[in-house]
Amino acid sequence: MAKQAQELFLSGKNDAAMRLVDQALAVSPQTALLHFVKAGCLDKNGNHDTALQEIDIALILDKNDKKASSEDYQLQGNILLSFADKQAEALKSLDEAVKLNPGLNDRDGFHVFRGRAFFGLKETHAALTEFNLAIELNPDSASAHREKGMLLWAMGRNDEALAELGTAARINPDDKEAIKAIGDIQRKPADLPASTKRSEPPSPKTNKVVTGYCVYERKNGMEIKNPRRIKWKNGRHAIRGICGSCGKPIFRIVAKEKP
């Protein structure tokens, strides 16, 4: 049942995994994997304190299994990242994980976790190094591009931030955090270099030029040909069309159109 619960959790069926874990724990409370999966489910549901308690139990039960303990420490580090005052602890847990399993250095997700911890500690150079390593290992990692974009934005490097966030949104169109960040940057022209300042784009119903950020050319203020207003599944509004320069898809986050 533990493996089945883990498969449900990994496939995104959090509630089903949680129900199965609770049933299994009533029969086998000493099964470390069940506590590991429960910790992951609780963390996804926002119950971070209880998740830490469960992963602590898993670590005790897995004390003689290096590989399993490594996974436990990695999850513990990820959970700790949810607490603003526990970034250093998160980094220690991740360091313990890689000591037990050096192969984690070959996982892009591991470097994303480490980068987030360094970001939380305001060690921007170390964070940027980790995110770059993650992208080098997996150029299609939406989370790595998103986290790098958020870091660059915090550093005031807005054009570069837009490029990374745009890549994240292109890889995963459902990445709400990346899409929101793009909109926030684009709606604050005062934060952008003078050469890239643009006012809010008009409705495509007018004859005025609509501009946006092209993730392919990595340039802001590119003309959007054939613009049309769309609404994504997450409820956000955007103008989508074709880049007037390269001819590839381009979009711009916009506010909801007034009736």
The full 3-state SS of 163-224, as one line of letters, equals HHHHHHHHHCCCCHHHHHHHHHHHCCHHHCCHHHCCCCCCCCCCCCCCEEEECCCCEEEEEE
Query: Would you kindly state where each structural domain of the chain is located, as residue ranges?
Result: 2-191, 198-254
Measured between alpha carbons, how far is 161 from 182 in angstroms, rounded to an integer? Answer: 8
* Pair type for strands 237-243 and 211-214: unpaired
Spell out the per-residue pLDDT of the chain, length 259, in tens. 778 877 877 788 878 888 888 888 888 899 989 999 999 999 988 899 999 999 999 999 999 999 999 999 999 999 998 888 899 999 999 999 989 998 888 889 999 999 999 998 989 999 999 999 999 999 999 999 999 999 999 998 999 999 999 999 999 998 989 998 998 888 764 444 443 333 333 344 445 678 877 766 666 778 888 888 877 666 767 787 888 887 777 777 777 665 4
pTM tops 0.75, yes or no:
no
CATH superfamily for 2-191 is Tetratricopeptide repeat domain (1.25.40.10)
Measured between alpha carbons, how far is 51 from 62 in angstroms, rounded to an integer? Answer: 16
Chain-centre distance for alpha carbon 178: 8
